[in-house]
Amino acid sequence: MMHFIREHAKGFFAWLIVILIIIPFAFWGINSYFDGGSADSVVARVNDVEITAREFQRVYVRERARRQEMLGENADPALLNDALIKRDVIDRLVNSESVAQAAIDAGLRIGDAQLAREIIQNPQFQQDGRFDGELYARLLNSMGLTEKGFEAEVRQDMLVEQLVSGVTGSEFATERELQEVAALVDQERDIAYLTLSPGDFSGEAVPTDEEIAAYYEENKDLFSLPEQVSVEYLELSATDLMDGIEVDEDALRRMYEEQEANFVQAEERRASHILITAGPDADEAADQAARDKALQLLERIRSGESFEEIAKAESQDPGSAAEGGDLGFFGRGMMVKPFEEAVYGMSIGDISEPVRTRFGYHIIKLTDIKAQQGRPFEEVRPTLEQEYRELVAEDRFYDIAEQLSDLTYEIPDTLEVAAQELELEIKTSPLFSRHAGEGIASNPKVRAMAFSPDVLEAGNNSEPVTIGTNHVVVLRIKDRRSTSHKPLEDVRDEIIASLQREASAEKARALGEEIRERMTAGEDPASLAEEYQLEWREAGFVRRDDSGVPGEVLRAAFRMMPPGQDQARIEGVELVSGGYAVVALKAVRGSAVAEGNGEESGERFKNLVLRKYGAQAGNGVLESIRKRSKIEIIQENL
């Protein structure tokens, strides 16, 4: 290359070009040509800054997991609406990016040192209260982040935080606002009212058949039944498979052999002994005497006397002496150490020298050895068989489940083939709706699958639905009942009740209106109420949260325009329950309470104002920044 340049770079312009090429390298280095530029698709652009699919995926996966955890394992999949989560996540990313850009535009900066401090102080990356670089690297790695990427993210968050806290944190409440809010929230109103409930006008005539039929036609929606389906399904579970498994004796034998180590019974030895006692704290003379005695007995045995007879006559171990010294079979770890060592160092028929233990001197005779031996196959067979069945069932389960998945996918319009091939029974569920069902339909995943477009509309077999450990079903729609209406006969009584209720409510309303009008015209409320055999209730001054006045009446009273000087304001209120109320608002006054306990309620109102205006300012800033940012979301890459 240099040769080429020398050959051809013969003029001023040629040199100039060379220099021009050198300049960018001098300033940016060669690595800017290799950084970035990877083929990652873009989900959004904010003023030409790209948010990549990878970034989006990472946040999305985390958010989805968070919601899943919140809803629990067997949540209805419909609640985890992917489209909705995606929209929230992209919204958040776009907001954060655009606000951070606005912050940069406004001249906000986070220096490297400041960034480092933020990261070092994050308890997530600390071990024993100190930043741990290795932990940091590991955690980032597990989140699929590079240090550079993470630091850019933190920097962005810090910029957003600086701008948002500055705006919302600087919110204030003026004295005037506090008073105004106190006057509104703690306001008291002097009210009186009467209520007419439809129950007061019951005993209505039974409506005619025509009326009933007309009502049914007009209000058909009220009597609708939700769409329902029943499904046929193949159910496969490892537990069911266990029964059908033929037990292969050879396999059990093999398992037995493989696991023999778990079934062995350790070696046991049988010995007899003659004990001449000498405690651990016996003095030398006593010790010597016992030892001499033992040696003497040993001599007699060696010269032909019977070990058993001598044991019976001389042994000082009362437990075994009568048995001729026999101790029976024992394994390792059951006798004192020196005794055990002696026994396990002997052959059958051997008689030991006197052995000193903390009991004294023993002359030991090894009489029998039961070699190490396995528990017999017959004894452990039931355990093995259970284990075998589980293993084979699980194996078969995976095998059959795969075939089931393949067969039902390849032949999507029937379960028959898979049923025959795999010897499964086609079962049928009762009808169930999208939101409730019994049997397998009590599982929300099953319902969601049955009502998924591919199964419900296209009529295909479903994918396998896992409904438990090693337990799947594949289903297809058997019967579909679209939204329908209960027949008139079934709902006749319901309709009669409704019509009567409506008639009563209408009467109550008409009467209430009449009372209201007469009251407005100036008649005395109390005597009016008496005339209609109703009760005029004087509630006096009440607050917004008064519990003695029916909620609807109270809310209506606080929505009425304050009355003039001389006359109460009167309004009629139709109640949701079907009744009617006539409400009189006589006076409005500021709170006696608010003035009473200043400090506490002052703080309460201050928080109310700060929250309200702070949220308005914060949201306004966000909305305004979004509006002047060029935001492009590429839906198909989400």
Partner 1 sequence: MSAYETDDQQVEAIKKWWRENGKALIFGAVLAVAGVGVGSYWFQYQSGRAESASVEYGQLLSELGQDNREAVLKRGEFLVNTYPKTGYAALAALIVAKARVEAGEMAAARAQLQWVIDNADQPELKNVARLRLARIQLAEGNAQQALATLSGIEGNAFAAAAEEIRGDAYMAQGDTGAARTAYQKALDVSEPGSDTRLLRMKLDNIGSPLKADA
Q: Which residues bind partner 1 (CB under 8 A)?
A: 10-12, 102-103, 105-111, 113-114, 162-163, 165-167, 169-172, 174-177, 180-181, 184-185, 187, 555-556, 558-562, 571, 573-574, 608, 611-613, 615-617, 619-621, 623-625, 627-628
| DSSP H stretches of helix in 537-597 | 551-559, 592-596
Residue placing its CB nearer to partner 1 in the complex, 6 or 302:
6
User: Rounded to the nearest whole angstrom, what is the least distance from the CB of residue 569 to partner 1 in the complex?
Assistant: 9
User: Rounded to the nearest whole angstrom, what is the least distance from the CB of residue 470 to partner 1 in the complex?
Assistant: 45
User: Rounded to the nearest whole angstrom, what is the least distance from the CB of residue 120 to partner 1 in the complex?
Assistant: 14
Residue placing its CB nearer to partner 1 in the complex, 358 or 628:
628
User: Rounded to the nearest whole angstrom, what is the least distance from the CB of residue 146 to partner 1 in the complex?
Assistant: 23
Residue placing its CB nearer to partner 1 in the complex, 515 or 556:
556
Residue placing its CB nearer to partner 1 in the complex, 146 or 165:
165
Residue placing its CB nearer to partner 1 in the complex, 163 or 407:
163
Closest Cα partner for 517 from 465, 434, 580, 470?
Answer: 580
* Residue whose entry in the numeric block shows the structure tokens 């284990």: 387
Residue placing its CB nearer to partner 1 in the complex, 42 or 104:
104
User: Rounded to the nearest whole angstrom, what is the least distance from the CB of residue 581 to partner 1 in the complex?
Assistant: 10
CB 481 within 8 A of CB 201: no
What are the percentages of helix, strand and coil residues in the chain, rounded to 5?
Answer: 55, 20, 25
Number of helices (H) and strands (E), helices first, in the chain? Answer: 25, 22
Strand order of the sheet with strand 569-574?
537-543, 188-196, 580-589, 569-574
The CB-based long-range contact list for 103-109 (8 Å cut-off, 24+ gap) reads 103/159, 103/160, 103/162, 103/163, 104/159, 106/163, 108/159, 108/162, 108/163
Residue placing its CB nearer to partner 1 in the complex, 529 or 573:
573
Closest Cα partner for 164 from 617, 566, 582, 581?
Answer: 617
CB 90 within 8 A of CB 43: yes
Residue placing its CB nearer to partner 1 in the complex, 142 or 174:
174
User: Rounded to the nearest whole angstrom, what is the least distance from the CB of residue 498 to partner 1 in the complex?
Assistant: 20
Using only C-alpha atoms, the chain has a radius of gyration, in whole angstroms, of 46
User: Rounded to the nearest whole angstrom, what is the least distance from the CB of residue 99 to partner 1 in the complex?
Assistant: 10
Q: How far is CA 235 from CA 47, 329, 416, 455, 464, in A?
A: 54, 55, 13, 17, 9
Rounded to whole angstroms, how far apart are CA atoms 131 and 382?
56
Rounded to whole angstroms, how far apart are CA atoms 619 and 95?
11
Residue placing its CB nearer to partner 1 in the complex, 412 or 618:
618
Residue placing its CB nearer to partner 1 in the complex, 431 or 617:
617
Rounded to whole angstroms, how far apart are CA atoms 177 and 245?
80
Rounded to whole angstroms, how far apart are CA atoms 63 and 81?
12
User: Rounded to the nearest whole angstrom, what is the least distance from the CB of residue 508 to partner 1 in the complex?
Assistant: 15
Q: Going by C-beta distance under 8 Å and a sequence separation of 6 or more, which residues neighbour residue 327?
A: 270, 271, 272, 273, 320
User: Rounded to the nearest whole angstrom, what is the least distance from the CB of residue 6 to partner 1 in the complex?
Assistant: 11
User: Rounded to the nearest whole angstrom, what is the least distance from the CB of residue 427 to partner 1 in the complex?
Assistant: 47
